[in-house]
Chains A and B, each alone.
Chain A
Amino acid sequence: MFIEFSYAISPQKTYDESCFLDSQAINYTNNQLQVIEPKYNEAIPLNLLRRMGRAVRLGVGGAMEMCIKNNLQPNAIIFSSAVGGLEDCIKFLNQIYVYEEGTLTPTNFVQSTPNAIAGSLALLTKNSSYNTTHVNGANSFLDALLDAQLLMNEGKTSSCLLGCVEEISSYNYNINQLAGLYKDTFISSLDLLKTKSKGSICGEGAAMFYLSPHSQNYEAEIISFFTIQKNSSADEILEEIESMLNKENLEKNAISDLILGYNGDQETQQNYDSLSLFFENSNIYAYKHLTGEYPTSVSFALWMGIKLFKNKELPLSCIKKVSQNIREYVLIYNHYNSKEHSILLLKKGTRE
């Protein structure tokens, strides 16, 4: 599978690549990193934009920005989100409790369902093709990628829009905080990777990819990917990664760049440390000080991996170790809550 185009909306100004890459990374101090959105001026009529819930706006807006700029008309739309439009969901819940199940307005209800993103995009672009949404927690994004691959393997689908949206709201921040996912004290987000405490900080993002089964002109090729859905030690993860590399006839030294999901939680960093040691000759990068932690953040890592191939400079704070200048294969490893692991192997594309 080939990635022809990619686009990300994140707590950094990634929607404008030149901004993200040249300027200093933006620091946050409230442990909640919210995305910086483009204006979507040309992508979505203003009257529609106003009526969109936040998750729908991020997903549809991100997809439209990428598709309009590059004149893309996908044959399939596959989205992924661990929580979907939670802001709308809780707004509707609020209505239920405040009005004691009285006469409610349905907008929040309709937009709270995760398939509202892919559905709204289909509606806006009059796209009737294959349309589905994955909600399997932190594995949603790679599940959606597998769905795209299965569909394209059938030979009738020549392109697929793969999207991923995760939004934070004060509500799910609260729920995850109660569940012990975040730090107890406020920190500077850019210092996240230096912290020695438990928990991470909360983030969000939307990432879009335009996939094709055959391509001569592409940003990156997806060589292999898989998920593991249980508490796994570094040895178990490494065993799976080595077996993947074996299948692809690659030595570990072939991995020029390694992107890891370090999130500042000192209790769950061992797997990242072990991989850093194992891939001793690879460049190593981290990203969650820029995005915060969220279930499907591996979609941002994929976007960042593609930027590496395009020989773009990343913010210096992303670089944990530089060993070499050749960029050929990028390996991405991330886990969420130690239980959901994502592994993705990319090869450099033809287009810089």
Chain B
Amino acid sequence: MYWQREYETMSREQIRKVQLERLQALVKRLYNEVPFYQQRFKEKGLLPGDIKTLEDIKHLPFTTKQDLRDTYPFGMFAVPMEDVVRLHGSSGTTGKPVVVGYTKNDLRIWGNLIARSMVMAGVTKNDVVQNAYGYGLFTGGMGIHYGAETLGAAVVPMSGGNTAKQLMLMQDFGTTVLTCTPTYALYMAEEAHAGGVDWEKIKLKIGIFGAEPWSNEMRRQLEESWNITAVDIYGLSEVLGPGVACECRYKKGLHINEDHFIAEVIDPETGEPLPYGQRGELVFTSLTKEAFPVLRYRTRDISVLYADKCECGRTLIRMERVTGRTDDMLIIRGVNVFPSQVESVLLEFGETEPHYLLVVDKKGTMDDLEIWVEVSDRMFSDKVRGLEDLEKRLRARVLSVLGISAKIRLVEPKSIPRSEGKAKRIIDKRPK
């Protein structure tokens, strides 16, 4: 099933043609309408006409989050405010948010891209979609909402929280699709299993989860506890909001909506583009957005692109689900390590909410990695052998997932410092 088959199944040649035409038009628009970009082009001695092939994108300047902050609030807009019909903001925890704007046409395209994503996941207009993404400045709630309406499904605009009511309506309305963050879906599942829910009345089939990185192990937990198919949806407000990419039912990476975005993976250190199959930082260029277009936006999300054909029939390239952020990437003995990889190992060991800390230090000339893991009731045994065996199995699993050896240190619960309820994941003691 497709929503816009002509775009979703184009040949690579066609898609590249569409991308080049749209990129050339975008560059012209940015040069003429956004002083920030004109300045950047001039610094690089570039003119819009210099973009002759898709590969020329590598000459174009990057856009960073800092650039968006510096132009707060509307400095990056490429249309007059009279054409802007919606404003959203990124969820910056510190300082001012990054503001993004949409024209009517932007909203129409966004709605279609979400509808495309939902159809990829198996949603039809007969479904009841309970949308538990937060409504507000955050793009998740309204983005999914209008996308589900575009598709023609019935949307229940629940927003986040109020779990008891979520569960009640889920039973009474016969909700078939749940959209929210994976952690909230897991929390709801725990509450539902704790009692008071008539499982005969739960009709859920599909979960579309996103807005935060999650692991395949977490997918397994979600699919089992709700008895659903769970797919990952990706997006960020600076580029669009949800709907930049989404998994199909084969769950082999997220199809990127390439007729509207060019995805690149670059080496976060050098900025050089990397070939398909190599892990690096995701960079997106929005091709069709009118109010708030971005050129080569550095997401800081780490992923890999795959161009081989998907069984679903879509020719859109796929990105591996985001496994980490460049912000928390550690380079240990030359290997890129992400805390999320450690988390996925601990999830495999049955921890639903693992607390851990990566402590990196220098021992002589060698980098030394210690992973502190808070012992839970589930892990604990009265036998020394039991705990030593656990350490050994964790060490072996970490070695195979991270590719480097680490010392596992079991620590008491709550001994890893937390700030605002969130645990700190890295202490890097190496001299800079």
A interacts with B: no
Residues of A within 8 A of B (CB): none
Residues of B within 8 A of A (CB): none
